[in-house]
A and B are shown apart, each in its own frame.
Chain A
Amino acid sequence: MFIRRLPKFEYHAPESIEGAINLKLTYGEDGRYIAGGTDLLIAMKKREVTPHHLISLSNIDTLKGISMADDGGIRIGAMTTLGEIERSELVKRYATPLWDAVDVMASTQIRHLATIGGNLCSAVPSADSAPPLIALRAFLKILGPSGEKTVPVENFFKGPKETVLNGEEILTSILIPKVDENSGGCYRKLMRRKAMDLAIVGVAAWIKLDQEKKRCIDARVALGAVAPTPIRVEEVEKRLIGSIIDETSIGEAAKIAGTQCRPITDIRASAEYRCSMVEVFTKRAVLGAMDRIMAG
């Protein structure tokens, strides 16, 4: 009912991914990986989960940092904090919608602790980092006892607080492909107040235009907080691709977005309000993306 003190647990801080996986193999269900801990420790204080072993990923250096990959894409280690992403020139320049998202996430203090991997693995419907990564066509690298696999972000979520990760697997890094010419993206988040708030609706849009910057030749649109998981809305993309991006096409695409979401009514907003805001914010996110393409 009320927040309690942390239950007792043993804290492990391995220095390698293999070490972490071995510990998880040892403790099984009684062990949990911990990244920044800003979600997990609260869940433990609420007794939603009570693992007796926390396996920290904080001492594994290979999970940290932001770098440009050989192919011109961006690699972000899963244990990179939101604050580091917020301060990254690479992210701001080449993965702008993700920068938009971290800029409006939680508070300075939380951003100092929370990691992007943690935000994705917690898999709450309102996770701000997910829609921009879906729109940016990002992939997740996952390492487990049986080897490595790569999953598109849009396929990562299975349900509220549920991902495709199983057992001992660790999300190691996020790979954002190279920015195409004449493309741009934007994330827009609706909050009740201007800071330290969850998304009521989050929309990320990425648009690619033809050489003349007239017609849309590719698009990605993803929604947060309006379905059991962050979702990609292909129907919206279809309406945009091949069209001149103008008031009509944006308006129609936005209307489609409003019908594609499946929100719930809760204490934060009604389902009806969320749907109409998906429409508004899809419009704004697409316009934001267009502004950036035109400016770039």
Chain B
Amino acid sequence: MKTYSVVGKSVERTDARIKVTGQAYYAGDLTAPGMLHGKILRSPLAHGRILNIDTSKAKALPGVMAVITGRDFPGIPFGTRPDIRDQLPMPITKVHHFGEGVAAVAAVDEDTAEEALDLIKVDYEELPVVLTAEDALAPGAPLVNEFKNSNIAYASDFMFGDVEKGFKEAYYIKEEKFSSQRVSVGFIEPHACLAQVDSTGRILLQGSKQSPYITWRHMCRALDIPLSKMRIVNPFVGGGFSGKHDPFDVDFAAVRLAQITGRPVKIVLNYDEVLAAYRQRNAMDAKLRIGVKKNGEITALYAENILEGGPISGIGPFNIYYFGAFLNIPYKIPAIEYHGKLVYSNRAPCGTVRGQEIVLAQFCIDSLLHMVGEDLGIDQVELRAINAVPSNWVCANGIVVDVSGLSECIEKASEKIGWKESRKEKKEGRGIGFSCASHPSGPRLGGHFGSAVMLKLLEDGQVIITQGATEIGQGSNTVFCQMAAEELGLPFEYIIQGVSDSDTTIFDSGMFGDRATYWDGNATIAAARDLKKQLAEIVAPSLNAKPEEIEFENKRVFVRGEPARGMDWLQAVRKAYYEKGAPLYGRGNWAALDIDIVDWKTGKGNLVHGLDFIATAIEVAVDRETGQVELIKAVHGDDAGQPINPAMLEGQVNGGSAHMSGHALWEESLYDEKGRVLNYSWRDYKQPTAMDAPEYHVEHIHTHDPYGPFGAKGAGEASSCSTIAAIANGIYDAIGVRIKELPITPEKILKGLKEKEGK
């Protein structure tokens, strides 16, 4: 294997110092001359008709420059897909959830803006609320979304392989129901943006956005303007986790208020607004049936899944699709039947969270697998090893797994957690749980889906990189700088991160699905090669060589095999600039053209490359008296191909796991019977702290993905998918109580213990 000089090294993050010293500017830190401050008035009702909004008194308050409502927008709905455009910038006829923005104010300062909100009078007619999937699907249920005449927002029915035959061949069949709760997404920085409009009417939006492309497309549609009329610059973003893809009322209101006033408008939310009224993960009700042979080999799987997703579809269709299509990994399942439904409700709108709904699917599957292992007396590690997807495997739906290190992941995880030893001498109240998972490196979508990278060569020999991917804290910028440096034969410090600006950057289709390292990484390599090619053509004649003979290594440009026959990188750069008058740009783009486009209808096809694999083992301690669970130790055997930056990769793996430990044990957004959120403060919404995290270990399983940059795969989301079941299984192993409804609270555990003792 080739040895790399920058790739595979844990170099310091490009943004580490600026962030830890507080010098990074986030959207909320931005200012502009003449800037106004915006505030949003929110609905106290979860469901109601808007009869009238009187803004006259607010408009008359000195210092107030503009007041808007949903009627100040063109009334064009937007959505992820053409058939689910079910959302307006701000509501016009009805409110759909507690805390929904109904009006917005721009004023000279925040206090005045807030005072103006008190002067807006909204007349509502209260409507009955739809809170759960059951409510939504009940006959005669009130309709939630005014663009749809049903509470079923989206549905998918997939059939892979011969399911009937699969269950017939089964020695043992087990069916269980699982459910999961509403959770908030969990980024640190609340939604914020600064909108400006120039004298030509062109908009500049600087917001805390995870996928500026999605925001840009949706906003231009709903504002009825061409894409070129809007420029998006992404400042530092304080985390995304799939909660910042789409535009929100924050973004729309700031833009519209800036248009009306002709002055910059900034809106920064408080976190209570985020917890009450912005993106959450769907609640799930699922039923799974699994068939296995006597040795535990899976023969068939049947899954029903209803996601309750709030009043809009958002990226919900993806959630339904991901849950179903990726039941095919990480285990070999020859036949799968899947029925998924997304339903509307009057709770906060859903997007998804880290790991998408593979997180929920895997919680179900690996919990069920553990139960099967218990029933049949099969060792949990063996049960997973026997079903692990190998390399060159074709899944029932057609996904081709090129390289799988899963077996080794399982082996390493069980070894490091001490599984075999733990079976010999079981400690009271202690248990170990396993779960595996796999996550693809980005799907191929309809519309724009490629990644583009540009390298600008500076005359002092340094290179500025701009790419379509967005840095949201995951470390993608650092990774691309490493790759560019590696390919150009330069030290890491030679690569400077450029800005994320729609005027100079071709934004990626979005930051999701572990795609950036893979797609933008390949585009980075292509851009570097393009730059080298141009430079080689300039340098080659003076070295009496052909351009294709020129190599770049160690800050040198030389003829292949003859390092002395060459010149320093800087000399070559100067040659281009000073002798040829040729400042250079390297351009590269990449898209997985050999995979199939997302097939919404069937879920079939070779849908992805770069499946990353993980096996997670978590040791827990359960207090039988209090029902409290302590996470002791978590080991992840992780196959992300070639690690580009091992330290950051570990951060992603452990971060995803810590994040989902909150979903497993602590977090739940609670609603009362009228759909009002009950715990929208950090005091009452319990995210885990660093003190709650276990001791983490990551065992890197090095593989080489044939399509990935330097053999790398996507990373970070698989650990989100494998954590919840590992915890649930660990709890069962510790005390023999199976919890199938998330979150696993102390009270549920005590109830389970009581029932068990009562038997």
Contacts and interface: CB of A to CB of B under 8 A. Distances in A.
A269 B270 CA distance: 26
B692 A193 contact: yes
B114 interface: yes
A193 B686 CA distance: 8
Contacts of A1: 42, 44, 99
Contacts of B272: 2-3
A28 B99 CA distance: 36
A1 B692 CA distance: 30
Nearest to A269: B747
Contacts, number: 51
B269 to A, nearest CB: 9
Nearest to B273: A2
User: What bracket does the count of chain A residues touching chain B fall in?
Assistant: 20 to 34
A157 B592 CA distance: 68
B114 A5 contact: yes
Main secondary structure of the interface of A (DSSP, over half): loop
Contacts of A192: 666, 686, 746
A195 interface: yes
A40 to B, nearest CB: 15
Contact of B684 (A5, A268, A276): A268
Contacts of A193: 666, 686, 688-689, 691-692
A198 B99 CA distance: 26
Bin chain B's interface residue count.
Answer: 20 to 34
B625 A280 contact: yes
A190 interface: yes
Given A3-B270, A5-B111, A194 B689 contact: yes
A194 B628 CA distance: 11
Contacts of B10: none
A197 interface: yes
Interface string B680-697: 000110101111100000
A277 B749 CA distance: 14
A155 interface: no
B689 A195 contact: yes
B683 A198 contact: yes
Given A5-B114, A273-B746, A197 B270 contact: no
A113 to B, nearest CB: 16
Nearest to A268: B684
A196 interface: yes
Contacts of A196: 689
A270 interface: yes
Interface in B735-757: 746-747, 750
A4 interface: yes
Contacts of A277: 626
B686 A197 contact: yes
B678 interface: yes
Nearest to A281: B626
A295 interface: no
Contacts of A4: 114
A196 B679 CA distance: 16
Which 4 A-B pairs have CB atoms at the shortest separation, nearest pair first? A194-B691, A195-B691, A280-B625, A195-B689
19 contacts: A1-B44, A2-B42, A2-B270, A3-B272, A5-B111, A190-B626, A190-B628, A193-B666, A193-B686, A193-B688, A194-B692, A195-B690, A195-B691, A198-B683, A267-B670, A267-B678, A268-B684, A273-B750, A276-B750
Interface of B: 42, 44, 99, 110-111, 114, 270, 272-273, 276, 625-626, 628, 666, 670, 678-679, 683-684, 686, 688-692, 746-747, 750
Given A2-B273, A2-B276, A194-B691, 17 more contacts: A2-B99, A2-B270, A3-B272, A4-B114, A5-B110, A8-B111, A192-B666, A192-B686, A193-B686, A193-B688, A193-B691, A194-B689, A195-B689, A196-B689, A198-B683, A267-B678, A269-B747
